[in-house]
Amino acid sequence: MQNRLGSGKFGPGRFGALPPSPFAQLRALLDDVTPSQEPLSLAIGEPRHAPPSAVLEVLSAARDSYAKYPPIGGTPEWRQAVIGWLSRRFDLSDALFEETTQILPVNGTREGLFMAAQIAPQKADGVMLIPNPFYQVYAAAALAAGANPVYLPATPATGHLPDLDALDDSLLARTQAFYFCSPANPQGAVADASYLARLLELARAHNFLLVVDECYSEIYDHTPPPSALQLMQAAGDNEMPLVVFHSLSKRSNLPGLRSGFCAGGRSVMRALAALRAIAGPQSPLAVQEAAALAWSDDAHVQESRQKYGEKFAAAETLFAGCYDFYRPAGGFFLWLNVGDGEAAARHLWVTQGVRVLPGTYLARDDAGGDNPASSYIRVALVDEQETMTVALKRLKDGLGSFNPAAVGAD
């Protein structure tokens, strides 16, 4: 397997520091093995609850709209649906988004997160701060913007969030952007309002862009996670150096729709809108119409959240007291400390036909050469309960027979 992105005469250029995709690494780890049981994948964060049927009907009925170029800033109906959801979910006022560019559609948040780095302030020897472990597009975005990614430990010792007090002024002075995810992928940690306020304080004091990925905010255990946009409203400051992302992939079980949005401070969003007007892909009219319907309906979200709660309860029954198990505050992943994530993933595949993602594929080595996620596996509780019951039982059996000291024995 290649250790770096790209091959052939063209080469990876500035992206040479990127590892292969986590899922390319997983295929290299497992695909030479035929599992002993029928395969069950818990590796990908792809919700498998049924999406709202009305949304799918809209997509079918709007097929003629593909003959038209869509507005890159979103239709009025799409915009009103998003504002309505922001009002219901976070008690945000319409007045917060006084300029139309302050809310923009994106074709899945991944492309928007990538593009956001390109409008960040440029600095000599610039860096972008990223939690470790992290969603891989953050690193690609930093490198594309000509900045060096700096990975901040997000471990049990720091509450699975970066320790903001550990950041020194010299690093912050070079920071162009700070990528942050709450609820965190993969650990499910949620930043409270005071943590978000501290992030915004640092962004303003040191002139960097705060990019907050809130795509899991509708999947939570007990307390709805706050949004950084609420702090912008509370401060009465529409000029905060902030852009926030939300998605229908997790909220509405529509990963294939590739539909989300970004919102934030006026100057930030003007710059992002100007860039997107030239370089950004437009969201098809049919997708915007379907997305407007999904953002306007909360009942399917509540039903889905209840299903995740039931699956976490089942997991807690099986794993409480083992593998550092905890019920995450948000998201739909288990983050289990199994001693050696790669070896455990292979063992689970060989013996149980269960596919999970080694934590090490979601993180980078620290300065000492240690990977903070190497002992973990990420388990996606995305299937319906019947399938998850079988999968979790197999997961328990497989981990019960796993011996981290016997790496390579399978």
Given CATH 3.30.750.24, say whether it is the number of domain 13-50+300-406. no
Q: Give the N- to C-terminal CA distance of the chain in Å, as an integer.
A: 20
pLDDT score at 66: 85
* Residue spans per domain, the chain: 13-50+300-406, 53-296
Query: 334 forms bridges with which residues in the sheet?
Result: 379
User: Which CATH code is given to the segment(s) 53-296?
Assistant: 3.40.640.10
> Residue 5's pLDDT is what?
52
Residue 71: per-residue pLDDT: 93
Tell me which H or E stretch contains 128.
strand 127-132
The beta strand positions in 163-295, using DSSP E, are: 175-181, 209-213, 242-247, 260-264
| Among 349, 331, 326, CA closest to 399 | 349
Q: Which two tokens stand for residue 388?
A: 């998850």
Scanning the structure block, which residue is given the tokens 């300029």? 99
C-alpha–C-alpha distance, residues 334 and 186, integer Å:
8
Residue 67: count of CB within 10 angstroms of its CB: 7
Q: How far apart are CA 109 and CA 3, in angstroms?
A: 27
Q: What share of the chain is helix, strand, coil (3-state, %, to 5)?
A: 45, 15, 40
pTM, to two decimals: 0.93
CA 394, 395, 397 angle in degrees (round to 5)? Answer: 60
Q: Over the chain (410 residues), what is each successive 10-residue block's mean pLDDT?
A: 52 76 95 93 95 90 87 95 97 93 95 96 97 95 95 96 97 98 98 97 98 97 96 93 97 95 97 94 94 97 97 97 97 97 97 97 91 97 96 97 65
Residue 6 has what pLDDT? Answer: 53
Q: Render pLDDT for 147-164 as a digit per residue (tens, 0 to 9).
A: 999 999 999 999 999 999
Strands 127-132 and 148-153: parallel
What is the pairing mode between strands 209-213 and 242-247?
parallel
**pLDDT value of position 2:** 42
Same topology, domains 13-50+300-406 and 53-296? Answer is no
**What single DSSP character describes residue 94?**
G
Residue recorded with tokens 């390579």: 408
Of 300, 288, 296, 295, residue with least CA distance to 62? 288
Residue 51's pLDDT is 92
For residue 19, the model assigns a pLDDT of 76
